[in-house]
């Protein structure tokens, strides 16, 4: 894109109430950071409930973690970290004005996101079959003992799974929103909407995706890594 | 443009570090250290991973992002207030008792 | 008697007449028009909440529950609380006066995110419509506090939908707060440093921080209640190891700071009115500014003082009681500083100042009774009685509503270009003050004497004070109706206000009334300190 066209794109993207592109860029970036703080507090309520109940029922939490599929969770963590890498690179290329590469990287990120959701769907389905979906679908009432006999499952196990589903469900909802957002931004990047002077939407959408990754970085050890069953 | 363009090398190194930490945390979870220590170690590694994402992928280390850093740290601090003061209740119910019980 | 010499400036191009038609209002991104949209919606919700208050006071005229059943009464006070807290008090000053004035006070053309501002209003409208549907469909009977397990398991009312309505409404609040924070950081005109910012902006900044940090927590809490209603999955259910008190922790983590969301903007208005009508700089600018931040921070540390008798540990009660004493300090600092501002000032008792003086007295009483409630020795005796009801109504009605009305009266000429009738303004202010005191002072006595709250019947000994309270409420209602009439009438018949009818300081007064769409002809460059009343006339002019 020629210098004058990129300038024209930039000027066209300057909203009337801002004096300069820099002011607009700083404002939208700050806005996104503040939004991420609201998300911290939103998830934070669930983490608080987790904290309270885990300290109250540590054995049940360990039992619950044994029902998590370690490898699926680990693969999902790898997928999300990789997707963050792609997003960070896409911002880099947007800064250099190479928007086709930006778009490709964003589409790769979207694919990672879809992969993540696919694995989560498999996990959820497995839990459903096992009977550990809380509420009307719960039918996991007997726990196997080491000697083959069974004992009744503790009631608090439902609490663990409730938190599991709500926390990962809310996270998956945010992943879905991120997928839609990045797909849109990727499409616009492909169509040349962004330039080296004006690409902050790519940047702040990336921030959102990184945040989604951050939440998972904490969900993973808290849900999957409590019990050392995979030694 | 006051935006700092990071060399690709920074992102690649961060990614490699994140993967290494991921392998480490998965491996350490199989090493029995006692329930509390396992948890602390796992959360500590998670915190390092999160810091790397924040500093490098999210650019907090660069440009004039003091404000954004303050904002994010404030959010975390507030979460800790929520955790901490709620735990003041739950952790002390057996210590001083609950009025009326 | 000076008449302003501007020849009908309301005919000049301004934000009101620049475009006509419903589309130009419903699709506007002008912060001033959005403020007016909010003003209309919030007034409507205020009167809906007031309708429920009327029903409460009518029922409580007699000791027997004769006007309605207990179940209906539960719904009435619940809807009164929900409407007043979430749909009137929390948005009131920020969404109307904050939206209108903050860009002007800092010399900007608009807020940082005008379209998000409009979205905020639409989210508010959607949530309000949903709530009105809930009301028509029978309301909820859980109290605005939604305590579990009644709300999750045993109530037979529209808890799910009400929870969703408040959830949605929360986003309106969050987005407004986000907008204000970014605006104040990034949109200030050249020379408008933080230390020259009107205290109105400082207080709204503190309010916005609370909105951003606290509201998401009530959102997730009500979402969990909604999930429990629908799928009967009990996160707060003891049968599966849950704790109902955890709901209260999560609920009050937001709802206590929420009361500071309601009072900080009122304090914002106070700083502007008192300086103008004392013709003096604010006393201790830095202290007032920092006190706003202090209130916001400490306000997050005290929530379990609502839970002293709920089953928290005695140790936690100690901690929260101590912290609750600290939160009074910054508020007290502000009251001292406003009083010191008035000292040796040239006081002018116009309508906005009457509201401000009423605020100082009533807020102080309300705040001090809060200290009684923070005391662990007293609280178990007066909790869930009318003492608490009187305490928070003194702050919310005697404080926040009076400040809101004071602010509306102060900036009405700026927003509309018209002056209202000063006589009717004074009459309404006196009626409101008198009616308010008659309504709520008896309730302190009632509560201390043991009358519980949220009951539709009571023992006959309490009747006299209840009758006084209801009588006061009827005067209060009349007082609230009057401004509706004379303010609307001023739009047609009021005197032309001119740019600065109060000879006030502040950038908003340096542009025309009503302001042009982009606020200023040219971006101002600020070279003076805030509240520079030495440069202004010693008397507030009279406009007729």
pLDDT by 10-residue block (mean), chain C, 544 residues: 47 85 93 97 97 97 94 97 98 97 96 97 98 96 95 93 97 97 96 96 97 96 93 86 94 97 97 96 96 96 95 93 96 97 95 97 96 95 96 97 98 96 97 97 97 96 97 97 97 93 94 92 91 90 80
Residue-level pLDDT at B36: 83
Q: Cβ contact (<8 Å) for C313 and B96?
A: yes
Using the Cβ of B77 and the Cβ atoms of chain A, whether some distance falls under 8 Å is answered with: no
> A41-77 burial string, b = 16+ CB within 10 Å, else e?
bbbbbbbbbbbbbbebbeebbbbbbebbebeebbebb
pLDDT confidence bin for A5, thresholds 50/70/90:
low
- The pLDDT tens digits for C404-455 are 999 999 999 999 999 999 999 999 999 999 999 999 999 999 999 999 999 9
pLDDT at B97 over 80: no
- Beta-strand ranges (E) seen in C443-533 are 495-496
- For A137, other C-beta atoms within 10 Å of its C-beta total 13
For residue A96, what are the domain limits? 41-142+149-224
Using the Cβ of A173 and the Cβ atoms of chain C, whether some distance falls under 8 Å is answered with: no
Whether A17 is covered by a domain: the verdict is: no
Residue-level pLDDT at C395: 97
Q: Cβ contact (<8 Å) for A53 and C242?
A: yes
Between CA C380 and CA C373 the distance in angstroms is 9
Between CA A177 and CA A183 the distance in angstroms is 10
Mean pLDDT of B35-62: 90
Between CA C508 and CA C496 the distance in angstroms is 17
Q: Cβ contact (<8 Å) for C216 and A41?
A: yes
Q: Cβ contact (<8 Å) for C249 and B86?
A: yes
- The pLDDT tens digits for C217-244 are 999 999 999 999 988 887 898 888 899 9
Is the Cα dihedral A46, A52, A57, A62 positive or negative?
A: positive
Q: How many domains does chain A have?
A: 1
CA C138 from chain center: how many Å?
Answer: 26
Whether A6 is covered by a domain: the verdict is: no
Cα angle, residue C373 at apex, residues C370 and C379 outer, rounded to 5°: 170
Residue C134: which of C209, C69, C75, C57 has the closest Cα? Answer: C75
Q: Which residue has the tokens 């030495």?
A: C534
Calculate how close chain C gets to B9, using CA atoms only, in Å.
33
Calculate how close chain C gets to B30, using CA atoms only, in Å.
28
> C354-381 burial string, b = 16+ CB within 10 Å, else e?
bbbbbbbbbbbbbbebbebbbebeebee
Between CA C497 and CA C513 the distance in angstroms is 7
Domain range list for chain C: 33-529
Mean pLDDT of B63-69: 73
Whether A183 is covered by a domain: the verdict is: yes
Element holding A176 (H helix, E strand): helix A156-190
CA atoms within 13 A on the CB side of C90: 29
Q: Cβ contact (<8 Å) for B99 and C217?
A: no
Class of CATH domain C33-529: mainly alpha
Whether A170 is covered by a domain: the verdict is: yes
Whether A74 is covered by a domain: the verdict is: yes
Q: Which of residues 313 through 372 in chain C touch B, CB cutoff 8 A?
A: 313-317, 319-320
Residue-level pLDDT at C232: 84
Hey, what are C330's tokens? 């910054």
- Beta-strand ranges (E) seen in chain A are 142-144, 150-152
Residue-level pLDDT at C1: 39
Q: Cβ contact (<8 Å) for A37 and B2?
A: no
pLDDT confidence bin for A2, thresholds 50/70/90:
low
Q: Which residue has the tokens 């024209």?
A: A8
DSSP state of B21: H
Cα angle, residue A115 at apex, residues A112 and A117 outer, rounded to 5°: 115
Between CA C365 and CA C402 the distance in angstroms is 14
Mean pLDDT of A43-48: 95
- The pLDDT tens digits for A116-135 are 999 999 999 999 999 999 98
Question: CB-based burial of residue C51 (10 Å sphere; 0-12 exposed, 13-18 middle, 19+ buried)?
Answer: middle
CATH number for the domain that contains residue A219: 1.20.120.80
The 3-class SS string of C397-456 reads: HHHHHHHHHHHHHHHHHHHHCEECCHHHHHHHHHHHHHHHHHHHHHHHHHHHCCCECCCC
- The pLDDT tens digits for A184-213 are 999 999 999 999 889 999 999 999 999 999
Calculate how close chain A gets to C485, using CA atoms only, in Å.
36
Cβ contacts from B onto C, under 8 A: 53
Q: Cβ contact (<8 Å) for B74 and C213?
A: yes
Hey, what are C487's tokens? 């303010």
Q: Cβ contact (<8 Å) for C187 and A27?
A: yes
CA C99 from chain center: how many Å?
Answer: 14
Please check whether residue C42 is in contact with residue C87, taking contact to mean a CB–CB distance below 8 angstroms: yes
CA atoms within 13 A on the CB side of A200: 21
Question: Best interface-test mutation with B: which of A75, A221, A222, A224 has the largest number of B CBs within 10 A?
Answer: A221
Cα angle, residue A203 at apex, residues A10 and C180 outer, rounded to 5°: 85
Cβ-Cβ contacts under 8 Å for C528 (sequence gap 6 or more)? C196, C535
Q: Which of residues 185 through 244 in chain C touch A, CB cutoff 8 A?
A: 185-187, 212-217, 219-221, 224, 227, 231-235, 239-243
- For C7, other C-beta atoms within 10 Å of its C-beta total 8
Q: Which long-range contacts (CB under 8 A, 24 or more apart) does C517-523 make?
A: C517/C13, C517/C14, C517/C15, C517/C18, C517/C30, C517/C32, C518/C109, C518/C110, C519/C103, C519/C104, C519/C107, C519/C108, C519/C109, C519/C110, C520/C104, C520/C107, C520/C109, C523/A19, C523/C107, C523/C109, C523/C189, C523/C190
pLDDT at A231 over 50: no
Mean pLDDT of A127-154: 88
Residue-level pLDDT at C254: 96
Element holding A200 (H helix, E strand): helix A200-224
DSSP state of C475: H
């Amino acid at each position: 894109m020629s210098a004058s066209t990129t300038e024209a794109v930039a000027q066209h993207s300057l909203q009337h109430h801002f004096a300069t592109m820099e002011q607009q860029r700083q404002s939208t970036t700050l806005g996104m950071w503040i939004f991420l703080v609201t998300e911290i507090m939103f998830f934070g309520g669930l983490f608080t409930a987790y904290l309270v109940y885990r300290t109250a029922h540590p054995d049940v939490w360990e039992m619950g973690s044994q029902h998590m599929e370690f490898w699926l969770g680990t693969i999902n963590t790898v997928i999300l970290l990789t997707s963050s890498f792609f997003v960070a690179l896409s911002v880099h290329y947007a800064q250099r004005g190479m928007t086709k590469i930006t778009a490709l990287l964003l589409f790769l990120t979207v694919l990672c996101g879809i992969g993540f959701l696919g694995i989560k769907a498999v996990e959820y389905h497995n839990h459903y079959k096992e009977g550990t979906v809380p509420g009307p679908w719960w039918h996991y009432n007997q726990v196997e003992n080491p000697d083959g006999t069974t004992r009744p499952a503790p009631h608090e196990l439902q609490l663990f799974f409730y938190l599991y589903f709500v926390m990962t469900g809310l996270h998956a909802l945010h992943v879905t929103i991120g997928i839609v957002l990045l797909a849109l931004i990727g499409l616009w990047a492909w169509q040349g909407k962004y330039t080296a002077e004006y690409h902050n939407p790519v940047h702040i959408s990336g921030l959102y995706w990184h945040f989604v990754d951050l939440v998972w970085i904490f969900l993973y050890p808290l849900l999957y890594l409590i019990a050392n069953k995979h030694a | 443009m006051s935006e700092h363009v990071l060399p690709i090398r920074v992102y690649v190194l961060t990614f490699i570090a994140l993967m290494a930490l991921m392998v480490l945390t998965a491996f350490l979870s199989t090493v029995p250290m006692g329930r509390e220590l396992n948890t602390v170690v796992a959360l500590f590694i998670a915190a390092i991973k999160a810091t790397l994402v924040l500093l490098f992928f999210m650019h907090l280390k660069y440009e004039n992002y003091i404000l954004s850093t303050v904002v994010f740290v404030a959010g975390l601090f507030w979460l800790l207030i929520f955790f901490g003061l709620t735990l003041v209740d739950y952790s002390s119910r057996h210590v001083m008792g609950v009025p009326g019980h | 008697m000076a008449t302003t010499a501007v020849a009908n400036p309301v005919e000049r191009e301004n934000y009101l007449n620049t475009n006509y038609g419903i589309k130009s209002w419903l699709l506007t991104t002008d912060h001033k028009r959005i403020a007016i949209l909010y003003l209309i919606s919030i007034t409507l919700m205020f009167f809906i909440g007031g309708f429920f208050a009327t029903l409460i006071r009518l029922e409580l005229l007699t000791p027997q529950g004769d006007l309605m059943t207990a179940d209906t009464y539960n719904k009435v006070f619940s809807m009164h609380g929900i409407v007043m807290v979430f749909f009137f008090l929390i948005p009131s000053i920020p969404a109307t006066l904050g939206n209108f004035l903050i860009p002007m006070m800092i010399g900007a053309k608009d807020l940082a995110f005008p379209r998000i501002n409009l979205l905020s209003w639409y989210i508010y409208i959607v949530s309000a419509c949903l709530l009105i549907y809930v009301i028509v469909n029978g309301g909820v009977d859980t109290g605005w506090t939604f305590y579990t397990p009644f709300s999750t398991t045993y109530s037979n009312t529209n808890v799910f939908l009400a929870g969703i309505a408040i959830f949605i409404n929360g986003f309106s609040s969050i987005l407004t707060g986000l907008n204000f924070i970014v605006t104040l950081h990034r949109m200030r005109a050249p020379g408008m440093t933080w230390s020259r910012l009107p205290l109105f902006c400082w207080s709204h900044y503190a309010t916005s921080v609370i909105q951003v940090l606290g509201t998401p927590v009530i959102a997730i809490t009500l979402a969990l209640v909604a999930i429990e209603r629908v799928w009967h999955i009990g996160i707060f259910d003891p049968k599966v190891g849950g704790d109902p008190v955890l709901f209260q922790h999560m609920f009050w983590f937001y709802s206590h700071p929420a009361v500071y969301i309601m009072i900080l903007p009122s304090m914002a208005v106070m700083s502007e009115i008192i300086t103008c009508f004392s013709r003096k700089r604010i006393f201790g600018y830095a202290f007032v500014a920092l006190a706003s931040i202090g209130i916001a921070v400490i306000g997050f540390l005290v929530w379990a003082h609502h839970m002293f008798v709920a089953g928290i540990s005695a140790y936690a009660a100690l901690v929260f009681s101590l912290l609750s004493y600290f939160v009074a300090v910054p508020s007290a600092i502000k009251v001292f500083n406003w009083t010191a501002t008035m000292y040796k000032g040239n006081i002018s008792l116009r309508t906005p100042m009457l509201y401000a003086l009423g605020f100082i007295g009533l807020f102080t009483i309300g705040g001090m009774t809060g200290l009684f409630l923070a005391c662990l020795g007293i609280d178990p005796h007066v909790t869930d009685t009318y003492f608490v009801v009187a305490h928070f109504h003194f702050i919310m009605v005697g404080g926040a509503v009076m400040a809101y009305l004071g602010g509306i009266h102060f900036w009405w000429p700026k927003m509309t270009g018209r002056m209202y009738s000063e006589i009717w303004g004074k009459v309404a202010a006196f009626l409101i003050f008198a009616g308010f005191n008659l309504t709520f002072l008896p309730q302190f006595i009632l509560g201390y004497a043991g009358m519980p709250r949220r009951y539709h019947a009571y023992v006959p000994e309490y009747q006299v004070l209840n009758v006084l309270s209801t009588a006061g409420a009827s005067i209060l209602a009349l007082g609230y109706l009057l401004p509706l009439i004379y303010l609307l009438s001023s739009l047609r018949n009021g005197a032309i206000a001119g740019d600065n009818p109060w000879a006030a300081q502040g950038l908003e007064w340096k542009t025309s009334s009503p302001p042009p769409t982009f606020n200023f002809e040219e971006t101002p460059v600020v070279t003076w300190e805030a509240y520079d009343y030495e440069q202004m006339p010693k008397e507030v002019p009279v406009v007729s």
